[in-house]
Amino acid sequence: MSKSSRTQEHFVAPVDSDVLPETDAVQDGQAPLSMWGEAWRNLRRRPLFIISALLILLIIAVAAFPQLFTQTPPDGACYLADSNAGPRPGHPLGFTLQGCDVYARLIYGTRASVLVGIITTACVVLLGGTLGALAGYYGGWLDAVIARLGDIFFALPLILGAIIVMQLPMFRENRNIWTVVLTLVVFGWPQIARITRGAVISVRNADFVVASRALGVSRFQALVKHVLPNALAPVIVTATISLGTFIVAEATLSFLGIGLPPDIMSWGNDISAAQTSLRANPAALLWPAGALSVTVLSFIMLGDAVRDALDPKARKL
């Protein structure tokens, strides 16, 4: 084999076509994004977040301003002559067994169901987050006491525990939104407490926390100013998903007749009232059940999108 045949030609790209400087360029004038800023940038690019956020905004608008979506009073125009009647102009979803407009009750029932979910979630995050943060940060006997207390409430499932409490005379004779919220909070806070405790434990020994303590910041100030802001991501994700769970719990209790009283319109009460006429008029049950399903699904989708945005391992580079 000749020497010329063993020689290989090498391609050398011209300098003008080299894109490495543009690829490796860093914008020095742009401030780095924080964890929340980067999460928001990722959320805006996710169709799952956009769809769920729009649905939740619509649900909240219906709950806050039901009169903008229907002009029919939910209980002021109930006539037995319209019992289980089908749709007609002005009444697109038909009538219930008592002759009430299904669409009007669907719109006005949104407020109680969503209100129970939002208030319960806020109280659970406040109570469970506070106890979990204190247990995870201070540890010791406080951690042991809160952990054992949480185990006691974990022994009873949410729905079963709520059924037992709502059967007590004090709650059975004073059924309203606040008694339902209080019952759900009592059995709902341990999950948030455990997640907050774990998140605080993973952050409490970080370098920036140790540096703040070295600069003279008290332990409680370090917890509030440095530990909690960096431990909120899993709490927010869990709270978003739990909100849908609490809405389902309220509907379940109302369906069983031990939740909200019948004079308070909610999807659970409407589903319970419509089960007796399911064969004759299934729409009276399917519409509130469908609204309940869409609402819960929206919050679950939102929680999944927020979790993916806040979890560095789930981000796509």
Q: Is residue 227 part of a domain?
A: yes
90 vs 38: CA distance, rounded Å: 47
Q: Is 151 contained in some domain? A: yes
Cβ contact 113:292 at 8 Å:
yes
SS (H, E, C) 176-193: CHHHHHHHHHHHHHHHHH
Q: What is the pLDDT of residue 73?
A: 77
Q: Is residue 101, in this structure, part of any structural domain at all?
A: yes
pLDDT at 78: 78
Q: What angle do the packed helices 267-274 and 283-310 form, to 10 degrees? A: 140
Give dist(CA 197, CA 180) in Å, integer.
26
Q: Which residues of the chain are under the pLDDT cut of 50? A: 316-317
CA atoms within 13 A on the CB side of 315: 14
Residue type for position 271: I
Using a cut of 0.75, tell me whether the model's pTM lies above it.
Answer: yes
35 inside domain: no
What's the pLDDT at 38?
Answer: 77
- Give the pLDDT score at 169: 87
Burial grade of 98 (CB within 10 A; 0-12, 13-18, 19 or more): middle
pLDDT of residue 317: 45
Say which CATH number the domain at 195 has. 1.10.3720.10
Residue 254: inside a domain: yes
pLDDT of residue 42: 80
209 CB-side CA count, 13 A: 21
Residue 1 lies in a domain: no
C-beta of residue 189 within 8 angstroms of C-beta of residue 127: yes
Range of the domain at 135: 59-68+93-106+115-314
Specify the number of domains making up the chain: 1
Q: Give me 261's structure tokens.
A: 């009283």
Residue 12 in any domain: the answer is no
* pLDDT of res. 76: 61
At 162, which amino acid appears? A
CB-CB contact of 199 with 233 (8 Å): yes
Side-chain-facing half-sphere of 100: CA atoms under 13 Å: 18
Alpha carbon 138 to chain centroid, angstroms = 28
Pair of tokens at residue 202: 């993973």
Q: Has residue 155 been placed in a domain?
A: yes
